[in-house]
Structure 1
Amino acid sequence: MRIIGGQHRGLTLASVGKGDAAAHLRPTPDRVRESLFNVLAGYGLPDGARVLDLFAGTGALGLEALSRGASHATFVDKGRAAQRLIRENLSKARRDADARILTCAADRLPKASTPCDLVFLDPPYGQGLGGPALVTARRQGWIAPDALIVWEESAAQDPPDGFSLEDSRRYGDTHITVLRAS
């Protein structure tokens, strides 16, 4: 796994290895990340954006955003294996100053000091965790008005109240649903 574009293009990220089966670590494949960031470029993102990476896993999505010009990324994952990988990847990219790691569940976020313009939501597939995490993020002030949300799941997702559908794409067994905060 590597960074696809931007300042850190080609940087090899820490390997998940056998990982922790209970952690549900499933990094977004390079091909899907490349296609996703091509879509985001059409929205003028992530340049200058504040990013929230929920269920961050390895942190690859947030790191890709930082590499492509995001101003800050907050990574959220309660798993110890994921936290270790995120720290290692931030260190490899020398982006510790531009990032924050929250070691809580995605549906137990603290109040935000500054809302985010771009949200990555990549919960374990099929467990119904994405919707509650998104609602909590909004309630706690993490989602800016008009923010873009990228929701990765095993099936296309219907937007919860307060969000509208922008786009939906399928890449093999991965569905990317792009929502807009309204």
Structure 2
Amino acid sequence: MLRVIGGKAKGRFLKVPKGSRIRPTSDKVRESLFNIIPPSFIEGKRFLELFAGTGAAGIEALSRGASHVTFIESNTGHCKMIYENLDLCDFKDSAEVICADVLKSLDKYFKEKPGYDIVFIDPPYNFPKWKILLPKVSTNVSIFDYGFLIFEHMSKVSINTEIEDFSLYGKYIYGDTTLTVYRKLKVK
């Protein structure tokens, strides 16, 4: 069972596809994610979840006071489930779900979009193009000064990518899952 762990929708259970190979971010890692980001930072901010799956991280952000979340997920069944989970938590008016390939959407959808304060990337652990994700996201998505870029990945994969205008905020290891967190520098 997957549930919202904090904020307005705390305790609400979210739908997860049956028989799916989806790997939702665990409660422990999600709770840690929202402890890494200062709680006062989330309030009123814009959140982008790439490879959204069930939408649990973005819904958690809305529950904790984010003003808007954009979800990008390529699987149409999972997109439908994100809508259902948003409806369960009464967050439909604060969200946008884009059902599209993440890499293609980075070239297509973000030229005209307002920026984001927090970008969470959670590709499948066997995603073959993970090395290009961080540079592509940092180049194509407008992330506000002091914003967070968070990449969830297998602990056995070492992410040592330097990203222009970002500093490494920290690496947080939870068993076989690691959150590599970058913070956007103030651009002069």
Q: Is the 8 A contact 2:146 2:184 kept in 1?
A: yes
Pair 164,129 (structure 1): closer, same or farther in 2 beyond 3 Å? farther
Residue pairs, 1:75-114, within 5 angstroms: 75-109=71-105, 110=109, 111-114=111-114
Q: Is the 8 A contact 1:54 1:123 kept in 2?
A: yes
Q: Is the 8 A contact 1:49 1:72 kept in 2?
A: yes
Q: Structure 2: give runs of 5+ residues left out of the alignment.
A: none
**Equivalent residue in structure 2 for 1:41, among 38, 41, 49:** 38
Name the amino acid aligned to 2:63.
Answer: S
Of 148-157 and 68-77, the range deviating more from structure 2: 148-157
- Measure how far apart 1:145 and its partner are: 3.0
- Under a length normalisation based on structure 1, what TM-score does the superposition of the two structures give? 0.89
Find runs of 4+ consecutive structure 1 residues off by over 4 angstroms: none
- Under a length normalisation based on structure 2, what TM-score does the superposition of the two structures give? 0.86
- Measure how far apart 1:131 and its partner are: 4.2
Name the amino acid aligned to 2:149.
Answer: I
SS of the counterpart of 1:45?
A: helix
**Equivalent residue in structure 1 for 2:29, among 32, 40, 58:** 32
Name the amino acid aligned to 2:181.
Answer: V
Q: Structure 1: give runs of 5+ residues left out of the alignment.
A: none
Q: Distance in 2 between matches of 1:46 and 1:159?
A: 25
Q: Distance in 1 between matches of 2:141 and 2:12?
A: 32
Q: Is the 8 A contact 2:138 2:163 kept in 1?
A: no
**Equivalent residue in structure 1 for 2:160, among 150, 158, 178:** 158
> How many equivalent pairs are there?
177
Pair 14,123 (structure 1): closer, same or farther in 2 beyond 3 Å? same
Sequence identity (%): 37
SS of the counterpart of 1:83?
A: helix
